[in-house]
Amino acid sequence: MELLTTNNVWMMICTALVFFMHMGFAFLEIGLTRQKNTINILFKNIFIITVGLLLYCLVGFNLMYPGDFNGFIGFAGFGLDAPMVDGALDLTYNEGYTYWTDFLFQGMFAATAATIVSGAVAERMKIGPFLIFTVLYVGFIYPIAGSWKWGGGFLQTLETPFYDFAGSTLVHSVGGWAALVAVFLLGSRIGKFKDGKPQAIPGHNIPLATAGVLILWLGWFGFNGGSVLSADPTLTSLTLVTTCLAAAAGGVVAALVSTLRYKNLDLTMFLNGILGGLVGITAGADQMSPTDAILIGAIAGAIIVFAVALIDKLKLDDPVGAIAVHLACGIWGTLAVGIFGELASVSQFVSQLIGVASYAVICIISSFIIIFTLKKVTGIRVSEREELEGLDAHEHGMDAYPDFRLNEH
């Protein structure tokens, strides 16, 4: 009983840290975009966490953990039904946490996928269609996809099981694939490309974006540390070390590569390099040595710089770099499990490839169907006038900084 209490307290602390990450995402997104769209971004982020938790309670948790099922889709019923023994909560549910802690910890993860999309479509997507997308993607697609691995589905039953410790693919790529589809269908912001060449559209508050990244790094202590699913001292401490080293290496290498490539010390590239390192290590944080973690993070940092350039070359507009961070580094981190660490082998690498491909299929198809349907039925993009004047004024009738208004174009 004392061990369960210790484990459960640690898991609740990690749950709080993952919750805190939503503030980090909000700060990062508003910092890297223009002030005239601040309310819009904050509204979306608050909607995602509130409605995401409700949906995960009503359907998501039992879609993701359906018990015995066919390996692709199952449903254990609506709502939460805690296991009881003699009228009290069954404390043998798991040695690391109670049923209620399990739900809340996993629920915090669920909302993250839509938050990734929020940043990628910032400044030009109608809020109504985005909210509908969030309900469908967080409520149904994310938990069904999650059940394929974490719910004991077909990826867990491969001869060499697919491995994703804390969600490089199950969380980050799930959001990243949807972000890619959304950006493709939505089009770029006015002024982003001139004569085919990308133009910088500076964010209005880089200090806030920096604070957001540091909050996210702190939150990752819960994201990865909690994924040990207990307070096991050896695994938990190793996981936090590998997480931090990958983040540091990602930031440093992204800054170096960016400076060599563009001849300027770009803070935003430094920040996204840190996030890329964090996403990259997430799939195998418990399996890596410190040296492995540094290598994985360093490669993720380099990937960030080239992925951002590729996205620009493809004339896709991602204001916060979400696709480079969460999709490109999510794929890299997932594959890295088969290359580095204790699980490294050809068969593991093949299983990782199967996992990446499986999630690409479900995420691309489902997000395309949802967003394309919304585009045809309601439209997904605000008018030119609304975009130029700001979504805050037109969609919310509010100004984030009513006493401090900058001239924006």
Residue 149 in this model has a pLDDT that exceeds 70:
yes
pLDDT band at 403 (very low <50, low <70, confident <90, very high): confident
Phi, psi angle pair for 194, to nearest 5°? -125, 120
- The span from the CA of 28 to the CA of 39, in Å, is 14
Q: Residue 407 pLDDT more than 60?
A: no
Contact call for residues 283 and 163 (beta carbons, < 8 A): yes
- Say if residue 404's pLDDT is above 70: no
Residues with Cβ < 8 Å from 283, sequence gap 6 or more? 163, 164, 165, 166, 167, 168, 169, 330, 333, 334, 336, 337
Sign of CA dihedral 289, 163, 244, 322: positive
Asked whether residue 264 carries a pLDDT value surpassing 80, the answer given is yes
Residue with the larger pLDDT of the pair 88 and 183:
183
> Is-contact 267 222, C-beta < 8 A?
no
Contact yes or no for 224/281 (Cβ under 8 A): yes
Dihedral angle over CA of 44, 12, 178, 59, nearest 10: -90
Write down the pLDDT at residue 113: 82
**229: nearest Cα among 405, 11, 3, 383:** 11
> Looking at the predicted structure, is the pLDDT value of residue 406 above 90?
no
Q: Which CATH architecture has domain 2-396?
A: Orthogonal Bundle (1.10)
66 phi and psi angles, rounded to 5 deg: -85, 0
Task: Scan for tokens 């997904």, then name that residue.
Answer: 380
Structure confidence at residue 405 (pLDDT):
58
Stretch 106-110: mean pLDDT: 93
Structure tokens at 251: 């930031």
Domain map (residue ranges) of the chain? 2-396
Q: Is the pLDDT of residue 116 over 80?
A: yes
Mean local confidence (pLDDT), 123-146 = 96
Average pLDDT, the chain: 95
pLDDT in tens, 330-386: 999 999 999 999 999 999 999 999 999 999 999 999 999 999 999 999 999 999 999
Please provide residue 341's backbone torsions phi and psi, each rounded to the nearest 5 degrees.
Answer: 80, -170
Percent pLDDT > 70 in the chain is 99
